[in-house]
Structure 1
Amino acid sequence: MKRGLVTELHVVVYCDGCGDIYSDDDGESICFDSTHQAVSYINARSARVGWRYDGDRVLCVHCVAVIWCPHGHHFPDVWQITVWPLGTTTRSRTCEVCGIREMEILS
């Protein structure tokens, strides 16, 4: 059993483009046990959070957008409306090229 202050090795993911750190919803960096675990996690969640790993580099949602949409995003005309449990209503749409999401609070 480990006790007290213990130094351990872990993997933290940084964007190869801008240096941004991969974090959870609260802005805290996520620590992985191995590079393989980090890559698997990003690949499994990439469609939802926008980070991409191409086998060589890992890029954040903003760097992906710069590469794929240098002259502007291609959003569909139709918005998706969401009414949240606490009464907030939002509308959102996703760029058809890079996958970055645009969201607005309506009420």
Structure 2
Amino acid sequence: MKRGLVTESHVVIYCDTCGDVLTDADGESICFDTTHQAVGFLNVKVSGWSYDGDRVTCDACSGAAECAVKGHRWAPGWQQEIWPVSGAQAACNNCGITKSELAQEN
């Protein structure tokens, strides 16, 4: 039986692109006993995060990569350029970037 303060090692999943950590609903990083367990979790349970056998990619980076190739997906109501007038933020349905953030990048 272990008692007191014990140092143990665990596996935490980080995005290879941006360094974001995989967290639970409360924002706490998820700890796994083994790399195999972490990979199994990515392959079955996590929406948007992926592991290709070499690199881990978070949902945001996956979405940004897809948008770089296919373009952003705006909600149909945002096809008209009314957002600057109303002050509302149109966000890409895929990567989450807003039109104002996109305008600042360009």
**Shorter-chain TM-score tier:** 0.5 to 0.7
Unaligned runs of 5+ in 1: 78-93, 102-107
Q: Which residue of 2 aligns with 1:12?
A: 12
Higher strand share: 1
SS in 2 for 1:65: helix
Counterpart CA distance in 2 for 1:26 and 1:62 is 18
| Amino acid in structure 2 at the alignment position of 1:30 | I
Shift of the alpha carbon at 1:45? 1.4
Kindly indicate whether residue 40 of structure 2 is the aligned counterpart of residue 43 of structure 1.
no
Cα displacement (A) at 1:73: 2.9
Are 1:61 and 2:66 an aligned pair? Answer: no
Deviation at 1:74, TM superposition (A): 7.1
TM-score, normalised relative to structure 1: 0.65
Overall identity of the aligned pairs, in %: 55
1:62-81 mapped onto 2 (5 Å cutoff): 62-70=60-68, 71-73=71-73
Residues 8 and 55 (structure 1 numbering): CA distance in 2 closer, same or farther, change over 3 Å?
same
What is the 5 A alignment of 1:79-90? Answer: none
Residues 66-88 of structure 1, C-alpha deviation per residue, up to 9 Å, x if partnerless? 1112221377x6xxxxxxxxxxx
Distance 2:18 2:62 in 1: 11
Q: Number of aligned pairs? A: 78
Matched to 1:5, the amino acid is L
Q: Distance in 2 between matches of 1:72 and 1:26?
A: 29
Q: Which is greater in Rg?
A: 2
Structure 1 stretches of 4+ moved >2 Å:
none
Amino acid at match of 2:73: H
- Other-structure match for 1:23: 23
